A = this chain, B = another copy of it.
Amino acid sequence: MKIIPIENVKKTDVDMEGASGVTKQLPIGSGDDSPSYSFRVFSVKPGGHTPHHSHPFEHLNYVISGRGAVVDEAGKETPVSTGDFGLVHPGETHQFRNTSDTEDLVFLCAVPKEYE
């Protein structure tokens, strides 16, 4: 059993094309012998965003805090805020944008551990 507060998990900058103002934490992953899935936490600064991209694996999401939008393939934005859940299917183009001027958008992003 592992129990860890999010503030004790190392933050790393996301240095990926199309990402801006994003850090990543990995509270649960393959290093913990998780059998199949990993929990990642992304923090997006005001004005920041993740890449607008797709990939062959899914995202299961939970918005921990803040306000933002999920952008789909056509560029349509769906607002999200604290307490919202999201499922991005494999192959669906998506992007998370912070739409607040003041507060980070912090969200959980669960993926198969091969892609953590």
Complex interface: chain B residues within 8 A of A9 (CB): 85
The answer to whether A1 and B34 touch across the interface, beta carbons within 8 angstroms, is no
Complex interface: chain B residues within 8 A of A36 (CB): 36-37, 58, 112
Q: In the complex the two chains form, what is the Cα distance from A85 to B112 in whole Å?
A: 17
How many copies of this chain are found per oligomer? 2
Complex interface: chain B residues within 8 A of A60 (CB): 28, 34, 37, 39, 110
Chain A interface (Cβ < 8 Å from any Cβ of B): 1-7, 9, 27-28, 32-37, 39, 57-58, 60, 62, 64, 70, 72, 78, 80, 83-90, 92, 94, 108, 110, 112
Q: Enumerate 15 A-B pairs (CB-CB under 8 Å) in ascending A order.
A: A1-B78, A1-B89, A3-B86, A5-B83, A6-B84, A28-B60, A28-B87, A33-B89, A35-B57, A35-B58, A37-B37, A60-B110, A62-B64, A64-B83, A108-B108
